[in-house]
Structure 1
Amino acid sequence: MNSDSNRLSRRSLVLSAGGLAAAGTVSALGVGSTRSTAAPATFTHPGMLHNAGDINRARARVAAGDDPWLAGWNRLIANPHAQAGWAPRPQQRIIRGGAGENYGFLYNDIAAAYQNALRWHIKGTSAHGDTARNVLNAWSNTLVSIDGDSNRYLALGLYGWQFANVAELMRGYPGFDLSRFQQMMINVFSGWNHDFLVRHNDVCDSHYWANWDLCNMASLMAIGILTDNPGMYDEAVTYFKSGRGNGAIRHAVPFLYPQVEGYDLGQWQESGRDQGHSVMGMGQLGALCEMAWNQGDDLYSYDGRRFMKAAQYVAKYNLGQNVPFTTYRWGVGANCDPQQQTVISSASRGHIRPVWAMLHFHYNRRLYVDDKYISQMYFSIDPEGGGGDYGSTSGGFDQLGFGTLMYAK
């Protein structure tokens, strides 16, 4: 099962199972897989954070009153953002960083659209579907640019992949102007996502932390899927494998530690910075891997499951246990001025974000591998909530959440 040469094609399984998923059958798509090097000839829809099987399973389990899905559902419907009738507040110009910041309008509306989209899919209530549609239509009719200082690139990445995911869930909904929304994502987001990965704001490629690359990679991938654009999708996958910046997997996980107390670990690039951003990285890279998985590419297992080793490392340390640390060196600014960190940071240790369900249910329930620390982290905080459940500032909205509801298997 673990030999690449013996694996079935993950993409073939996705495409051949498409009819079953569309018919409402929850399919178990492939324990093992090979990794392809190009975008699919035909993109799978829905095929970002959630495929048809995820949606059907959540719908059936909630209807049956089964936990943990029911507990995840109850967490969803208690969130103020998940209520029908949420009034969108679209802006022509979103600013993150510098004078006039107003990006809270955007991340709150995205959270509301996503949560209402989930309520529509799982219970079929048109009031929630209409609310999600209205948020999407309002923004696609209004938003022209995302500006600010360098932090605008965080907004372009984070809200790019999240917004595209909501639109994917609402594809085909009556009255949703998908074409206009797709054009907004291209005009406002994707070109700048590409620009950041290529130029890095005219500084050293190692200057920005891994999360900056990762969210822009995820945005390109999501918009590529939403608009059936193989070039965007391939750019994200290629960057993950061989990019110059810290979002590339071997830069994001620069050091490996085999068999530390029986488990392979990988040092995360932001571990010497703080734990809030390290946990954030699990959510950003997890989103990228999940979207790729639903299009037939197994980035989760790429390079000997390098990402899983990093997730185990971050989880173990944030559970209060010790992990090894190798001095991390990098360059900043236009001249790559040398920097180094000699110890892991304890800042915000134990930080909670809704990122662990996706990883646990992939590695443990799809692949049947022992994910000891990921599992412990997930079960210490389940059921997972979403935007609005983890504070009102932007960090609580860096991931869409509700993994217990949507990923439990």
Structure 2
Amino acid sequence: MRGKSVLSAALVAVGLVVASPSPSTAAPAVFAHPGVLVGKSQLDFVRAKVNAGEQPWRGAFDQMLAHPFASLSRVPKPRAVVECGSYSNPNYGCTDEREDALAAYTLSLAWYVTRDNRYAAKAIEIMDAWSATIRDHTNTNAPLQTAWAGSSWPRAAEIIRHVHGNWPNAGRFATMLRDVYLPEVVGGRAATNGNWELSMMEATLGISVFLEDRAVYDRAVATFRTRMPAYVYLTTDGALPRTPPGSGIDTRDEIVSYWHGQTTFVNGLSQETCRDFTHTGYGLAAAAHIAETARLQGQDLWGEVRERLRHAYGLHSKYQLGVEPMPSWLCGGTRKQALGPTTEVAFNALNTRLGIAMTNTRALTERQRPAGTDRLFIAWETLTHALNPA
């Protein structure tokens, strides 16, 4: 099943009307591989830096190799049905699936740098185990769980299939992504907190690249384009933030409630800022991953979201660093939690490649190096994206 037929089947599976207005074409005529979050020129840059012993890449690589995700003795733990409730309670395979997906990606990066085929073999073993087993995701967190694991799998698969090669079950893995993961994420979730839908679109976009499915790619980009203005506010949006299409959130009181009680809106404020910085970091990271994957496919989404992301990271970095205390009008003057290892991809795109200063984001990014993994869907981004002009 390819092209529009994949999208149609997925939309039917999530109960959406296929005959809705089609999004503008965004997908490339020819897909670039590897092309999910990291591309070949980026990986070649990283490999050269690590092998030359240069920092921060060598330290980031050593950190990665020391992590259990890089273990050559890892035993995958696939399940036919992964059941995840709110905050992974119950947790029947949720942690195992996410971490096996991240391990496959970790091992594929280790193989790319070292060319030690044991790492590729272990990545293939993990992906084969899941593609032979998984059939469904259930319970309330199923869309988010699918999104997180579904964001990591294509990163690993792209490197193994298109650089390493020699993967007999690659077709079965593609079928898994198409039949098990895609139907759960492609439709989005307009009324949820924004990190959900952004993560769902990250998975959808990555899967579309691996499947070379232009209709699914277009769907992901179209949803991203409406979600980002509803997730990060700019004063040019008007007195109130925009709302996700189809969410039913359309009054001032509903918007304020959706923005977790915030009534004053400034450049860079996120829909989840006053929930906590950790979930905000998830949403911003997923947005950056989407823009980066699109860039690898020849599309400039960075140009469309640069102002929102630079202001968002600047605002949150400033308060996380303690450059200024949280004002009383912002989340009642209290910051909850932290952004986590989420800044490298956006900082590299906006600072290294586009030359935007981003003073506070730079300070936070450098303080957190080498960025590790959140054990959900973010991993080793100092290694892959720090100061990487490729």
Same fold (TM over 0.5): yes
Distance apart, 1:352 and its partner CA: 5.1
Structure 1 stretches of 4+ with a deviation exceeding 2 A read 98-102, 254-258, 321-327, 341-345
* Aligned counterparts, 1:328-347, within 5 A: 343=332, 345-347=334-336
1-structure distance, mates of 2:201, 2:116: 33
Determine if the alignment matches structure 1 residue 129 to structure 2 residue 131: no
Distance apart, 1:110 and its partner CA: 1.2
Which residue in the other structure is 1:114 paired with? 105
Distance apart, 1:301 and its partner CA: 2.4
- Determine which of 178, 181, 186 is the counterpart of 1:194: 186
1-structure distance, mates of 2:57, 2:65: 12
* Aligned counterparts, 1:1-400, within 5 A: 37-97=25-85, 99=90, 101-149=92-140, 151-172=141-162, 173-195=165-187, 197=188, 200=189, 205=190, 207-242=191-226, 248-256=227-235, 265-302=267-304, 305-322=307-324, 343=332, 345-348=334-337, 351=338, 353-386=340-373, 396-400=374-378
Distance apart, 1:134 and its partner CA: 0.5
Map Cα deviations across residues 351-378 of structure 1 (whole Å, 9 max, x no partner). Answer: 2522111122111111111111211110
State the AA in 1 paired with 2:54.
Answer: D
| Shift in CA distance, 303/408, structure 1 to aligned 2, threshold 3 Å | closer
| Shift in CA distance, 43/162, structure 1 to aligned 2, threshold 3 Å | same
Question: Secondary structure, in 3 states, of the residue corresponding to 2:235?
Answer: strand
Distance apart, 1:398 and its partner CA: 2.5
Distance apart, 1:184 and its partner CA: 0.3
Shifted more, 317-326 versus 167-176: the winner is 317-326
Asked if the contact 1:268–1:314 (Cα under 8 Å) also holds between the matched residues in 2, the reply is no
State the AA in 2 paired with 1:106.
Answer: E
Distance apart, 1:304 and its partner CA: 5.7
1-structure distance, mates of 2:328, 2:305: 20
Question: Secondary structure, in 3 states, of the residue corresponding to 1:146?
Answer: strand
Map Cα deviations across residues 285-342 of structure 1 (whole Å, 9 max, x no partner). Answer: 1111111111112222215622222121122221123488898xxxxxxxxxxxxx96
Asked if the contact 1:289–1:298 (Cα under 8 Å) also holds between the matched residues in 2, the reply is yes
Map Cα deviations across residues 243-273 of structure 1 (whole Å, 9 max, x no partner). Answer: xxxxx11100134399xxxxx9411110111
* C-alpha RMSD of the superposition: 2.3
Distance apart, 1:210 and its partner CA: 0.7
2-structure distance, mates of 1:169, 1:217: 20
Map Cα deviations across residues 72-130 of structure 1 (whole Å, 9 max, x no partner). Answer: 11111111211213111111111110546321110121121111111100000011110
Question: Secondary structure, in 3 states, of the residue corresponding to 2:82?
Answer: strand
| Shift in CA distance, 325/168, structure 1 to aligned 2, threshold 3 Å | farther
Which residue in the other structure is 1:338 paired with? none
TM-score (norm 2): 0.80
Asked if the contact 2:98–2:377 (Cα under 8 Å) also holds between the matched residues in 1, the reply is no
| Shift in CA distance, 100/365, structure 1 to aligned 2, threshold 3 Å | closer
State the AA in 1 paired with 2:336.
Answer: A
Distance apart, 1:67 and its partner CA: 1.1
2-structure distance, mates of 1:240, 1:324: 29
Map Cα deviations across residues 33-52 of structure 1 (whole Å, 9 max, x no partner). Answer: xxx95200000001111100
2-structure distance, mates of 1:304, 1:279: 16
Question: Secondary structure, in 3 states, of the residue corresponding to 2:38?
Answer: coil
Question: Secondary structure, in 3 states, of the residue corresponding to 1:270?
Answer: coil
Of Structure 1 and Structure 2, the greater helix share is in 2
| Shift in CA distance, 314/138, structure 1 to aligned 2, threshold 3 Å | same
Distance apart, 1:344 and its partner CA: 6.0
Asked if the contact 2:35–2:209 (Cα under 8 Å) also holds between the matched residues in 1, the reply is yes
| Shift in CA distance, 257/190, structure 1 to aligned 2, threshold 3 Å | same
Question: Secondary structure, in 3 states, of the residue corresponding to 2:161?
Answer: coil
Determine if the alignment matches structure 1 residue 401 to structure 2 residue 385: no
Structure 1 unaligned spans of 5+: 1-35, 243-247, 259-263, 328-340, 387-395
Report sequence identity in percent.
25
Asked if the contact 2:205–2:217 (Cα under 8 Å) also holds between the matched residues in 1, the reply is yes
2-structure distance, mates of 1:159, 1:116: 15
2-structure distance, mates of 1:295, 1:222: 11
| Shift in CA distance, 145/408, structure 1 to aligned 2, threshold 3 Å | same
Question: Secondary structure, in 3 states, of the residue corresponding to 1:95?
Answer: strand
Q: How many residues align?
A: 331
2-structure distance, mates of 1:364, 1:177: 40
State the AA in 1 paired with 2:377.
Answer: Q
| Shift in CA distance, 321/365, structure 1 to aligned 2, threshold 3 Å | same
| Shift in CA distance, 159/345, structure 1 to aligned 2, threshold 3 Å | farther
Distance apart, 1:399 and its partner CA: 2.8
Question: Secondary structure, in 3 states, of the residue corresponding to 1:272?
Answer: coil
